[in-house]
Amino acid sequence: MPTINIVQAVNQALREEMRRDDRIVVLGEDVGRDGGVFRATEGLYDEFGPDRVMDTPLAESGIIGTAIGMAIYGLNPVPEIQFLDFIYPAFDQIVTNLAKLRYRSGGQYSCHLVVRAPYGGGIKGGHYHSQSSEAYFTHTAGLKVVIPSNPYDTKGLLLSSLRDPDPIIFLEPKRIYRAVKGEIPEGDFTVPIGKARVAREGRNVSIFTYGAMLHVVLEAAEAAQKNGVEAEVVDLRTLVPLDIDTVITSVQKTGRAVIVHEAPKTSGFGAEISALIAERAIEYLKGPVLRVTGFDTPFPYTLEEYYLPSVPRILKALDKIMQY
């Protein structure tokens, strides 16, 4: 099996599905001749031409608004937002129109499209290129939110997203775009939306995470093993719909829960997981649910390594929960 990185996985999924489905069109800033700022769409313009791979003005509201119109008329658009931080001008289009069209039309219009955007820190991008805004979209009924952590899941989840009837926010962890590589099977395959993956088995504590943080958590779990703590690591993969069954099963097994994500703690997605655990598995808990997250501040440039959850911060939480 070939070994590729996450950028290549995105490119492969788009290329293969565009060959299979001529309704798919890609649009966004510099996605055409330049292949995108991270080169995720490189070569698509040459193969499919300007009618299916479209460079747009620097106008996110226009990008998403145009994509919504395309979707209503039967196309399967894949708009790219160059950085998730830039999506806010299009927020109204997404939450007011895109997310509600199926419900508002009584199912006459599905308005299927996949909004792709790189998210998160780790590249010294400063506070306008490093944010993790996934919780805004998980709060909006009608949207699915997908966040892969490796090339296999990236390709499989993106293919599933491109074939799904609902609008999807597909967030790609740019910190590990090229740093993480993995084997991809030949031929067509998909990863189901709404199904988490147990990335590491354990019996003492469950750690729930997604995206780039998975790899930091796995490193912390290996370090904790040396102190006799066997951490189970669950990669959520999809925030909406959330695989709550896997979350609760893990907590029932270990009796302890730690949640790790890059976004600020207040109203971050970890709060939703904490509430669900409290509602459905509180009798299994041996201590409080702990969160290791970004801070409730703008994303810093010079202090990026302190803002992002790290192995020492995760180990501190594991030590606290094990001693409770």
**pLDDT number for residue 126:** 87
Statement: 197-323 belongs to CATH 3.30.420.270: no
- Is-catalytic flag, 139? no
**pLDDT number for residue 186:** 81
Nearest 5°: phi and psi at 7? -60, -45
**What is the rounded distance in angstroms from the CA atom of residue 36 to the CA atom of residue 277?**
40
**What is the rounded distance in angstroms from the CA atom of residue 70 to the CA atom of residue 239?**
26
Q: Where are the domains of the chain?
A: 3-183, 197-323
**pLDDT number for residue 314:** 98
**pLDDT number for residue 240:** 98
Q: What is residue 286's three-state secondary structure?
A: coil
**pLDDT number for residue 67:** 98
pLDDT tens track, the chain, 324 positions: 789 999 999 999 999 999 999 999 999 999 999 999 999 999 999 999 999 999 999 999 999 999 999 999 999 999 999 999 999 999 999 999 999 998 998 888 789 999 999 999 988 888 899 999 999 999 999 999 999 999 999 999 999 999 999 999 999 999 999 999 999 998 899 999 999 999 999 999 999 999 999 999 999 999 999 999 999 999 999 999 999 999 999 999 999 999 999 999 999 999 999 999 999 999 999 999 999 999 999 999 989 999 999 999 999 999 999 999
Q: Where are the alpha helices (DSSP H) in the chain?
A: 6-20, 44-48, 60-72, 91-92, 101-104, 134-138, 151-163, 213-225, 244-254, 269-281, 304-307, 311-323
Exactly one of 112, 129, 215, 261 is catalytic; name it: 129
Q: What is residue 149's three-state secondary structure?
A: coil
Nearest 5°: phi and psi at 81? -100, 120
Closest listed residue to residue 170, CA positions, set 15, 40, 307, 301: 40
Amino acid identity at 120:
G
**pLDDT number for residue 108:** 83
CATH number of 3-183: 3.40.50.970
Closest listed residue to residue 42, CA positions, set 50, 30, 57: 30
93 strand-pairing partners? none
Whose structure tokens read 């806010």?
88
Residue 272: half-sphere exposure toward Cβ, Cα within 13 Å: 18
Cis omega (within 30 of 0) on the bond before 241?
yes
Tell me whether the CATH fold assigned to 3-183 matches the one assigned to 197-323.
yes
